[in-house]
Amino acid sequence: MVPGFSPVVLALDFDGVLCDGRPEYFEAARRAYRETWPAAREVPDAVAAVFGAHRPLVESGWEMPVLLHAVVAGETVAGLVDRTAWLATARRLLGAGGLAPETLGQALNGVRDAWFARDPDDWIRHNVFYPGVVARLLDVLASGTPVAVITTKAERFARALLASQDARLGALPIVGREPGRVIPKPESLARLAAAHRLQAGAEGLWFVEDLLETLDAVHATPSLAAARLFLAGWGYNTLEQRASVGWRRHVRLLSLGAWTAPFAAWPA
Ligand SMILES: [Mg+2]
């Protein structure tokens, strides 16, 4: 392998990079919303598309039932225009409902756990791997390049989804949580770089992620300053965020077509 043209280790986010979890988020959020919201409104199936389109606004689980409520209650476009506006909207709606974020977060986790326990195959079917992703991952593994999944998703869920595609994917290392704690992604990546004995700056580490703020945080970490960072253009991000990659020297926009191409063809 030619140094610089392929990764020493490839790190991949899970949701919005490997797998589109929006059908699952929608259904879990709908059930949690029905369970917790006072006088919850009817949520027709057709709301899934609007909910999915607003997915880039959401960072934490508790926000998803609130987002559903915002959509069915007819919240204005201005209240959902960006992350700042959304958080203000979400807090206002929560206050009006007399709810705490923890209540909704716990309801969402409870719904998901119960669903997975009762019918794991149905739960898995509500998560869709992006086209070509699995075949390309298997090629990368066959070529001997180490791959790690960096995600704040609960490991058992990520592993069940990977294993549903292929046993080799089910055996991938998954980094992102430890008992009682979600590990910030820069810390997970620093651990990965150390485990692969990368030099200072983590040159040779390539990371594909769909959240721009996360890539900025990784770049701002001195021990990761030389890692190559890619924004997954097919993931949960907006046109504005994808366009803003143009004036960030440390991030490249990766298309789904480029992701399935050899590493040498990835944007430099
Ligand atoms: Mg993601």
**94 CA from centroid of ligand 1 (Å):** 25
Please state the three-class secondary structure of 64-122 as a single string: HHHHHHHHHCCCCHHHHCCHHHHHHHHHHHHHHHCCCHHHHHHHHHHHHHHHHHHCHHH
How high is the pLDDT of residue 3? 52
**110 CA from centroid of ligand 1 (Å):** 22
**7 CA from centroid of ligand 1 (Å):** 20
**209 CA from centroid of ligand 1 (Å):** 6
The C-alpha torsion from 101 through 185 and 195 to 17, rounded to 10°, is 100
**196 CA from centroid of ligand 1 (Å):** 23
CB 209 within 8 A of CB 232: yes
List per-residue pLDDT tens for the chain, 268 residues long. Answer: 445 689 999 999 999 999 999 999 999 999 999 999 999 999 999 999 999 999 999 988 999 999 999 999 999 889 999 899 999 999 999 999 999 999 999 999 999 999 999 999 999 999 999 999 999 999 999 999 999 999 999 999 999 999 999 999 999 999 999 988 999 999 999 999 999 999 989 999 999 999 999 999 999 999 999 999 999 999 999 999 999 999 899 999 999 999 989 999 999 8
Neighbours of ion ligand 1 (CB under 5 A): 13, 15-16, 210
**17 CA from centroid of ligand 1 (Å):** 6
d(CA 215, CA 67): 25
| Helix-strand-coil split of the chain, %, nearest 5 | 55, 15, 35
Q: What CATH number should be reported for the domain whose range is 9-20+129-265?
A: 3.40.50.1000
CB 88 within 8 A of CB 62: no
**4 CA from centroid of ligand 1 (Å):** 25
How high is the pLDDT of residue 1? 47
Q: In angstroms, what is the C-alpha Rg of the chain?
A: 19
Domain boundaries, the chain: 9-20+129-265, 22-124
**243 CA from centroid of ligand 1 (Å):** 18
**251 CA from centroid of ligand 1 (Å):** 15
Compute how many other C-beta atoms are within 10 angstroms of the C-beta atom of residue 192: 22
**210 CA from centroid of ligand 1 (Å):** 5
How high is the pLDDT of residue 268? 87
